[in-house]
Amino acid sequence: MSTFVLWDIDGTLIYNGPKAGTLYLDSIEQVTGIRPTVRVGSPHGMTEGQLLAEILKVNGIDVALVPAVYERLEELSLAEHEAGALRERCVGVDVALAAVAERGWRNALLTGNGPNRARYKVIAAGIDDSLFDWENSFFGHESPTRHHLTAGAREKLADRAAVIIGDTPKDGEAADSAGIPFIAVATGAYTADELRKSSALVVVDDFQSGLDDVLEAIATVRAPAPR
């Protein structure tokens, strides 16, 4: 059976944009009338549901408003997409996705974003969204933590080999909590040295210089033993 390669998006497939958090702030302001001024300490690796709740909490805004804020975020994301927003894909991503597919493995997503925003982002970066198995991808817009997100992935892919590729220590910690192997790439907010402190099978600077190491690591991944 195919190995599922579960890709994170921000910092892994596409570079973090300079205005990465603007839509969150705009959504909150348009729903509540308050523009958050207090920053979340370490947002990288959070799910979207978790991040929205944390932004509201640290700014003294009712966390019960998360669903309304998320609905507005979806609307603003669609408007941005329809206006032709562009994102920059990380170096080597095209070749990496093709190499995974050529080996008979399955490209899928495991991201803190919701499914619509995930699709808009990969399209904005010029990545063909049909390269991914959307039925077996996992989205964090309703997940309170990344651990919750990866647990859901492990449950659905219970008898399948899977590996998570991400760019933050939180990706690695969440992968560990679900018993899914982790591969780290340093195209996000963390350096390769910082990522080597995780349990990653391999850490690479990017998918151009480190693709062979990534593919070798994926090839070692096996399905969980039957319970």
Q: Which of the listed residues 33, 60, 82 is the one where a domain comes to its end?
A: 82
Is there a domain that residue 224 lies in?
A: no
Q: Is residue 156 domain-shared with residue 143, that is, in the same domain?
A: yes
- Which alpha helices (DSSP H) does the chain contain, by range? 22-32, 48-58, 66-82, 93-102, 115-124, 146-156, 169-178, 192-195, 211-219
Cα–Cα dist 119/123, whole Å: 6
Q: Which of the listed residues 82, 104, 129 is the one where a domain comes to its end?
A: 82
Question: What was the pLDDT predicted at 17?
Answer: 80
Q: Is residue 59 domain-shared with residue 115, that is, in the same domain?
A: no
What tokens does 186 get? Answer: 């340093």
**CA distances for 187 relative to 45, 86, 131, 151, 156, angstroms:** 13, 18, 21, 25, 28
**What total of structural domains would you count in the chain?**
2
Q: Which of the listed residues 82, 110, 132 is the one where a domain comes to its end?
A: 82
Question: What was the pLDDT predicted at 41?
Answer: 83
Q: Is residue 74 domain-shared with residue 158, that is, in the same domain?
A: no
Is there a domain that residue 227 lies in?
A: no
| Sequence-separated (6 or more) residues with CB below 8 Å from residue 193 | none
Question: What was the pLDDT predicted at 227?
Answer: 64
Print the domain residue range for 65.
22-82
Here the CATH number for the domain that contains residue 148 is: 3.40.50.1000
Q: Is residue 31 domain-shared with residue 92, that is, in the same domain?
A: no
10-residue mean pLDDT series, the chain (227 residues): 94 88 95 96 89 96 97 96 96 98 98 96 97 97 93 95 97 96 97 97 98 98 84
Cβ-contact 191, 213 below 8 angstroms: no
Q: What are phi and psi of 204, to 5 degrees?
A: -125, 155
Question: What was the pLDDT predicted at 51?
Answer: 94
Is there a domain that residue 114 lies in?
A: yes
Side chain identity at 34, as an amino acid letter?
I
Sheet containing strand 182-185, edge to edge, reads 138-139, 106-111, 4-7, 162-166, 182-185, 203-204
Q: Is residue 53 domain-shared with residue 113, that is, in the same domain?
A: no
